[in-house]
Structure 1
Amino acid sequence: MAKAQYGNTVKTTSLSKKKVQKWVFVILALSPSYLGYLLFTLYPNILSAYYSLLEWNGLTAAKFVGLDNYIYLFKDHYVWRDLGHNLLLMITVPILTIIPSILLAYLLNVKGYRESAFYKVIYFLPNVLAIIVIALLWSFIYDGSNGLLNAILKVFGIDNNEFYWLGDKRTAIWALLPPLIWGGVGFYVIIFMNAMKSIPSSLYESAILDGASHMTRLWKITIPLINPIVRISTLFLVLGVFKGFEIMLIMTNGGPAGSTEVIGLYMFNMAFGKDSHSYGYASAIGMFLFVILIILKLIIDRLSPKDQIEF
């Protein structure tokens, strides 16, 4: 009897040690990620929320102003103008990126070209380049005097008198679309190709026997089966376009006359611009942008179909 009790005690102690060792391993494995999140994400966001209640230029003593920055924000017509630019890019860039990416991925995956690996490298090449390289490259393309775009137009007999595409309010915002799309298509082609490779070929073979065309197979088989990947990709694109401003900063800095300024760039210029160092107001804009991004995420999740087709 005593031996049985001793054996149970040893077994319980052994299980307890294994449980403790498991939790120690989990804590040690996850602590770097959580510490990084606390230090570089959560803590700065908490500080931003606090700074948004201050009138502060980063040098002199801060003055607590409560919600004054938020009240001024809703009266600031530049904020709403820039949100309009964000909305335009948010609608156009994801559509013009996702659709070509799906079509190219489908062609490369289903057709089975021998050169598919080479095409994947070519499409992915813009993602290897730094954003500043992409922005400068397209700035040279749009240059009025020696730009590639005007040279191509002249070949077709269109002389636009050295028109500078980034210097006109009518064309500047639209000239930003090609670099934004070109820099993203290749990445999503790779993502969609990998998703399509998981679809059993027997589904396509059955569809071919039934006389389904390529468009029918794409619309009825491919897209429904990779829908979760498409939804997540769209979410990343929408949120990325809405908060991004690097290409605008390098190519136009929001000009001409604010025609390409987005809310992220306006926030950046308010905090670090030559004429303004209002960290408090910039933090209020940042918190406003944070709320908008959360709302957009909830809307996309709400509108996107959740049903996942299994095969």
Structure 2
Amino acid sequence: MQHGKYRFIAGFLIVPLAIYAVFVIWPFVQAIYYSFTDWTGLSPDFKMVGFDNYTKMFDDGTFWKSAQHSVTYVLLLPVVVLALALFFAFMINVGGRRRKDAAIAGVRGSAFYKIVYFFPQVLSIAIVALLFQFAYNPRNGAFSAILRGIGLGSVQPDWLGDPNLALWCIMAVLVWTQVGFFVVLFSAGMASIPKDFYEAALLDGANRFTTFFRITLPLLWDTVQSGWVYMGILSLGAEAFAVVQIMSVGPGGPADSTTVLPLLVYQKAFRDGQAGYATTIGVALLIITLIFSAIVMRLGRRERLEF
């Protein structure tokens, strides 16, 4: 019976594992292999160059600047996005005034707020980047118009043209696009927490601040941890690349002030014809992503709470 059971399980697993190996594991193996070659990406002819690409990468100032920007994204974006999303979700679900029919309630119009917050998720990231590119126009963009409207017309920053501002302006767009998704995600998690917990805490004299850190956050921690990892991977991946590629000067400028690792991989592979070197940078990006995920999972480990 045991052997039959194992054959039955293996029969179900062999196909999905084979698909996973072909479409997920094998591309990683290929990328690592090509990182040791001088492949241009255009010709089938290439030769092994050993660790030359890695030596070149460590001596590349643009790589280190891009890595710095990517690390800045992965350290700040999850903190800002998740903090805002937790605050908004808490206010929507728990932060309202007491009503006659319930001691715990969200703010009025909470369903409408969920739709408003989630709206950026409906739009393509390319459309969002183009809209904000127009909004950041220093002459007739929305943000400059707001400054003029409040009497700060003399303050006309070159939002995307200033090396000191461009990175933060693009980061603000990524925050705007992602907060809504996590508001809905955390709202679903908070809706599953029994209201009795909050009512008991209020009877004991706890305020909203205490109930959030003593009840909501501990019971929602698994969702927050998963969101942290997801947001970090997103900060290192396609979302950051798309926004920087569309919005920044160059792209990646001015003076490489907004270049991130995914954009550098794209430029080296498709602009400069250095696919082997691009895969080397991709391997470095993979290592950074794995280190980030491992640190978050390790630091966020705690006893599981059930209710």
- Inter-CA distance 24–225: structure 2 relative to 1 (3 Å threshold): closer
Aligned to 1:97: 81
- Inter-CA distance 20–35: structure 2 relative to 1 (3 Å threshold): closer
Q: Which residue of 45, 56, 69 maps to 2:39?
A: 56
Aligned to 2:144: 150
Q: Does 1:130 align with 2:124?
A: yes
Q: Does 1:292 align with 2:288?
A: yes
Q: Which residue of 197, 201, 220 maps to 1:203?
A: 197
Larger Rg: 1
Q: Secondary structure at the match of 1:239?
A: helix
- Inter-CA distance 199–247: structure 2 relative to 1 (3 Å threshold): same
CA distance in 2: counterparts of 1:198 and 1:255, whole angstroms: 45
Following superposition, the deviation at residue 91 of structure 1 comes to: 2.0
Following superposition, the deviation at residue 171 of structure 1 comes to: 0.8
Following superposition, the deviation at residue 25 of structure 1 comes to: 6.7
CA distance in 1: counterparts of 2:143 and 2:246, whole angstroms: 19
Give a deviation string over 1:264-305, Cα, whole Å, max 9, x none: 1111100012xx010100011111111121111111122113
Q: Which residue of 140, 151, 164 maps to 2:158?
A: 164
TM-score calculated relative to the size of structure 1: 0.88
**Do the aligned partners of 1:139 and 1:251 also contact (CA within 8 Å) in 2?**
yes
CA distance in 1: counterparts of 2:17 and 2:270, whole angstroms: 29
**Do the aligned partners of 1:135 and 1:251 also contact (CA within 8 Å) in 2?**
yes
Give a deviation string over 1:187-221, Cα, whole Å, max 9, x none: 00011111111111111011111111111111111
CA distance in 2: counterparts of 1:68 and 1:25, whole angstroms: 44
- Inter-CA distance 98–24: structure 2 relative to 1 (3 Å threshold): closer
User: How many equivalent residue pairs?
Assistant: 292
**Do the aligned partners of 1:150 and 1:160 also contact (CA within 8 Å) in 2?**
no
**Do the aligned partners of 1:126 and 1:186 also contact (CA within 8 Å) in 2?**
yes
Aligned to 1:8: none
Aligned to 2:185: 191
Query: Which structure has greater helix proportion?
Result: 1
**Do the aligned partners of 1:225 and 1:309 also contact (CA within 8 Å) in 2?**
yes
Aligned to 2:242: 246
- Inter-CA distance 24–302: structure 2 relative to 1 (3 Å threshold): closer
Unaligned runs of 5+ in 1: 1-11
Aligned to 1:272: 270
Report the residue type matching 1:102 in the other structure: L
**Do the aligned partners of 2:147 and 2:155 also contact (CA within 8 Å) in 1?**
no
Aligned to 2:25: 42
**Do the aligned partners of 1:144 and 1:164 also contact (CA within 8 Å) in 2?**
yes
Following superposition, the deviation at residue 167 of structure 1 comes to: 1.0
Following superposition, the deviation at residue 37 of structure 1 comes to: 2.4
Q: Does 1:73 align with 2:26?
A: no
Which is further off, 55-64 or 158-167?
Answer: 158-167
- Regions of 4+ moved over 3 Å: 19-25, 33-36, 160-163
Give a deviation string over 1:77-128, Cα, whole Å, max 9, x none: 1111111111222222111101110011111111334522221111111111
Q: Secondary structure at the match of 1:166?
A: coil
Aligned to 2:114: 120
CA distance in 1: counterparts of 2:230 and 2:155, whole angstroms: 40
Identical amino acids, percent of aligned pairs: 36
| Aligned-residue RMSD, C-alpha | 2.0
Aligned to 2:102: none
CA distance in 2: counterparts of 1:209 and 1:298, whole angstroms: 40
Aligned to 1:4: none
Q: Which residue of 148, 163, 173 maps to 2:167?
A: 173
Q: Secondary structure at the match of 1:292?
A: helix
CA distance in 2: counterparts of 1:138 and 1:166, whole angstroms: 10
TM-score calculated relative to the size of structure 2: 0.89
CA distance in 2: counterparts of 1:221 and 1:118, whole angstroms: 25
**Do the aligned partners of 2:66 and 2:259 also contact (CA within 8 Å) in 1?**
yes
CA distance in 1: counterparts of 2:24 and 2:132, whole angstroms: 32
**Do the aligned partners of 1:94 and 1:237 also contact (CA within 8 Å) in 2?**
yes
- Inter-CA distance 20–103: structure 2 relative to 1 (3 Å threshold): closer
**Do the aligned partners of 1:142 and 1:166 also contact (CA within 8 Å) in 2?**
yes
